[in-house]
């Protein structure tokens, strides 16, 4: 397959590119600077809306993972603008380039997030559930709407609603130091559901989407095991063999992270991977215990 990927240098993108190339795909990554490897890189400029349509010519799929990390820094007005523009500028640039193709790529896979659903308590959320409210929900909805502009008789659009990705880095890397010091208890009351997925299943699920033409629209990229903040803390502490006895009060999380704490750590999103399961995907790490064994040894 010939695949074009944006956001290839990010946490998910880096793992996905390595996986797809190992599988024999020809992967072209979109970069902001002059390409150092012209055979596998192509320059683009999302804020300016610049992407040579020839880059997409003959592509079997375009995968758009571009967007500033939502967990880096407090959500000031400027950061919120950057979170929004980094996603929408990139998506619109890709969609416009697809629209200029005489033979457009048959598939656009666009990142999104389970933040689409907002804070929903213990309600089970499938891909057909209504969107929630709040900054992340509004951002995800706008992101998905921009991607869906590429949908046509020739192009299907898959929207990856990603939960917290567990791998060798990112969220899990930030959690380990306080856990090892005994500060790894649940956030707030601990009853909020945290949607999560192991990196192996992120790349595996995207591979699955690439080979299943019947998958279209939103796909929850979350593990089948529903876990609360309290359950997550217990599972990680058991794996590490270190008691997680000190919880993090909600006020302390808000003091440290502001609005981000409510959106990422204190809200409850019980998303389920209905589309993946019904299409026959088999999870490599369906439980936290298996994910921790794979990632942490």
Domain of 215, in residue numbers: 2-296
| Number of independent structural domains in the chain | 1
Here the CATH number for the domain that contains residue 277 is 3.40.50.720
**pLDDT tens across 100-150, in order?**
999 999 999 999 999 999 999 999 999 999 999 999 999 999 999 999 999
Distances in whole angstroms, Cα of residue 73 to Cα of each of 87, 183, 194: 17, 21, 20
pLDDT(45) > 90:
yes
The confidence score (pLDDT) of residue 104 equals 95
In terms of DSSP bridges, do strands 50-51 and 41-45 run parallel, antiparallel, or are they unpaired? antiparallel
Q: How far is CA 104 from CA 26, 55, 130, 149, 151, in A?
A: 17, 11, 30, 13, 10
**CB hemisphere CA count around 191 (13 angstroms):** 5
Q: Which residue has the tokens 């946490």?
A: 11
For residues 160-183, give the mean pLDDT.
79
pTM for this prediction: 0.93
Cβ atoms within 10 Å, residue 39: 8
pLDDT at 38: 85
Confidence of residue 170 (pLDDT cuts 50, 70, 90): low
- What average pLDDT does range 235-248 have in this prediction? 81
């Amino acid at each position: 397959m010939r695949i074009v990927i944006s956001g290839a240098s990010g946490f998910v993108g880096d793992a996905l590119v390595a996986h797809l190339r190992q599988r024999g795909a020809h992967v072209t990554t979109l970069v902001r600077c002059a390409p150092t490897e012209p055979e596998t890189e192509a320059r683009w400029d999302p804020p300016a809306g610049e992407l040579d349509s020839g880059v997409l010519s003959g592509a079997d799929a375009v995968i758009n993972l571009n967007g500033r990390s939502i967990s880096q820094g407090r959500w000031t007005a400027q950061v919120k603008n950057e979170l929004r523009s980094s996603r929408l500028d990139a998506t619109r640039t890709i969609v416009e380039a697809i629209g200029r193709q005489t033979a457009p790529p048959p598939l656009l896979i666009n990142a999104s997030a389970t933040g689409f659903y907002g804070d929903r308590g213990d309600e089970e959320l499938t891909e057909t559930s209504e969107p929630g409210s709040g900054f992340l929900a509004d951002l995800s909805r706008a992101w998905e709407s921009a991607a869906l502009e590429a949908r046509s008789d020739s192009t299907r659009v898959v929207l990856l609603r990603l939960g917290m990705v567990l791998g060798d880095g990112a969220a899990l890397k930030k959690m380990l130091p306080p856990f090892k010091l005994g500060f790894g208890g649940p956030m707030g009351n601990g009853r909020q559901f945290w949607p999560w997925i192991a990196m192996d299943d992120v790349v595996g699920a995207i591979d699955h989407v690439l080979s299943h033409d019947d998958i279209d629209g939103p796909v929850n990229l979350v593990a089948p095991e529903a876990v609360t903040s309290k359950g997550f803390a217990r599972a990680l502490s058991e794996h590490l063999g270190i008691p997680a006895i000190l919880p993090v009060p909600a006020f302390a999380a808000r003091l440290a992270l502001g609005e981000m704490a409510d959106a990422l750590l204190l809200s409850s999103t019980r998303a389920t991977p209905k589309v993946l399961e019904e299409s026959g995907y088999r999870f490599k790490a369906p439980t936290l215990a298996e994910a921790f064994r794979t990632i942490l040894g």
